[in-house]
């Protein structure tokens, strides 16, 4: 928000619709570390200190409304705000809702998507480590490169100075852990029937080899002439931030010319998979 304030007048966004897709702040593990450091040999005895050290505000920081609350204060914004959580498809879900809001409602100041994530948190690293899916070095052929960051994206109807035009966003609800060739094929066929073949496809491929094979195999069958690109080897994998981050990478990539038609893929564990079709201006 501080960076945005240097580039534009934040008062202009005081009536924008807000959509947040952010990780929660989890500080309980840090509090637990303080208990452990009091004396590892007396852990159970020292555990009683947890209640004294724990801050009641930590419960509020866990709520998905917390980032929305703070951003609305900074912007003096009292319009509608929606917090979203759909795993790594959170950014795309927010973008889809924001686009529909602008199309179907009178939203003069547009919509603001606030997206942040931290794949380097203790709980995330623990889970992926147990699955053996963190890429420790270049010799590993499967695994994520965990990263973190935040993005703010503004959408409106104004074609002047637009960086891109969103043509469509399709999301298929599919509560699964892994997505198959058939899952990808179905969504690609639907997108192709509606909007044709993109010039470039930004793959979801987050580093997990089995999931990459299913996605790329489907791309080659449905869009054999499209060029495939992936930014996660540069940015790392940012979880719920990755969809919007991919868009910003495209807009800043000099190798992607203006007028290029782009398809950006995404998935969210136990939620579904989707793709964004847009034109770079």
- Examine the domain organization and report whether 258 and 228 are in the same domain: yes
pLDDT given for residue 246 in this prediction:
98
Q: Are residues 16 and 130 in the same domain?
A: yes
Segment holding 92, helix H or strand E? helix 90-104
The domain boundary residue, chosen from 131, 155, 179: 155
Domain co-membership, 14 together with 81: yes
Within this chain, do residues 17 and 144 fall inside the same structural domain, yes or no?
Answer: yes
The structural domain count of the chain equals 3
Same domain assignment for residues 180 and 122? no
Same domain, 104 and 86: yes
Report the distance separating Cα 46 and Cα 169, nearest Å.
52
The domain containing residue 18 runs over which residues?
A: 2-26+59-155
Rounded mean pLDDT of the chain? 90
206-262 tens-digit pLDDT: 999 999 999 999 999 999 999 999 999 899 999 999 999 999 999 999 999 999 999
Q: Does 38 share its domain with 67?
A: no
- Across the beta sheet with 272-280, the strand order is 164-173, 272-280, 261-268, 200-202, 227-229
What burial class does residue 64 get, using C-beta atoms within 10 Å of its C-beta: 0-12 exposed, 13-18 middle, 19+ buried? Answer: middle
Domain end marker among 38, 58, 78 = 58
Cα dist from 42 to 35, 48, 268, whole Å: 9, 11, 41
Residue predicted with more confidence, 189 or 57: 189
Which bin fits 175, alpha (ψ -120 to 50), beta or left (φ > 0)?
beta
Query: Residue 155 class from Cβ within 10 Å (0-12 exposed, 13-18 middle, 19+ buried)?
Result: buried
List the CATH number of the domain containing 268.
3.40.47.10
User: Which residue's entry shows tokens 């935040």?
Assistant: 150
Query: Beta partners for 227?
Result: 200
Residues 15 and 96 in one domain: yes
Residues 180, 193: one domain? yes
Residue 53: the pLDDT is 66
Give yes or no: residues 198 and 238 share one domain. Answer: yes
Whether residue 26 is predicted with pLDDT greater than 80 in this model: the reply is no
Lowest mean pLDDT among 11-20, 165-174, 181-190, 269-278: 11-20
Predicted TM-score (pTM) of this structure: 0.88
d(CA 60, CA 109): 29
For the stretch 43-80, pLDDT in tens is 777 777 666 666 677 777 778 888 888 888 889 877 77
Is residue 30 scored above 90 in pLDDT? Answer: no
Q: Judge whether 223 and 197 are in contact, CB under 8 Å.
A: yes
Does the pLDDT of residue 266 top 90, yes or no? yes
Percent of the chain with pLDDT over 90: 61
Report residue 118's pLDDT band, with 50, 70 and 90 as the boundaries. Answer: very high
Q: Which of 87, 120, 155 is the last residue of a domain?
A: 155
pLDDT value, residue 220: 98
Per-residue exposure over 69-86, b if at least 16 CB sit within 10 Å of its own CB, e if not: eebbeebebebebbbbbb
- 263 plus 178 within the same structural domain: yes
Q: Give the pLDDT confidence score for residue 259 in this predicted structure.
A: 98
Q: Which two tokens stand for residue 112?
A: 């603001």
Judge if 179 and 144 occupy the same domain: no
């Amino acid at each position: 928000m501080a960076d945005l304030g240097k580039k534009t007048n934040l008062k202009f966004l005081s009536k924008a619709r807000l959509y947040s897709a952010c990780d929660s702040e989890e500080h309980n593990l840090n509090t637990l570390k303080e208990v452990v450091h009091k004396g590892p040999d007396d852990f159970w005895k020292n555990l009683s200190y947890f209640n004294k050290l724990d801050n009641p505000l930590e419960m509020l920081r866990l709520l998905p409304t917390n980032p929305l609350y703070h951003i609305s204060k900074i912007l003096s914004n009292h319009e509608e705000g929606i917090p979203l959580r759909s795993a790594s498809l959170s950014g795309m879900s927010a973008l889809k809702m924001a686009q529909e809001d602008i199309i179907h409602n009178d939203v003069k100041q547009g919509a603001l998507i606030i997206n942040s994530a931290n794949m380097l948190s203790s709980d995330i690293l623990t889970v992926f480590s147990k699955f053996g899916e963190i890429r420790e070095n270049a010799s590993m052929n499967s695994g994520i490169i965990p990263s973190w960051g935040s993005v703010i994206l503004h959408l409106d109807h104004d074609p002047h100075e637009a960086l891109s035009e969103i043509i469509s966003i399709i999301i298929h609800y599919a509560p699964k852990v892994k997505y198959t060739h058939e899952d990808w094929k179905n969504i690609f066929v639907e997108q192709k029937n509606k909007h044709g073949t993109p010039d470039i496809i930004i793959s979801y491929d987050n580093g997990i080899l089995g999931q990459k094979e299913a996605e790329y195999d489907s791309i080659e069958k449905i869009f054999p002439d499209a060029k495939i690109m992936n930014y996660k080897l540069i940015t790392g994998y940012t979880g719920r931030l990755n969809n919007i981050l991919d868009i910003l990478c495209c807009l800043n990539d000099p190798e992607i010319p203006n007028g290029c038609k782009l398809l950006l893929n995404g998935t969210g564990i136990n939620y579904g998979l989707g793709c964004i079709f847009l034109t770079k201006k």
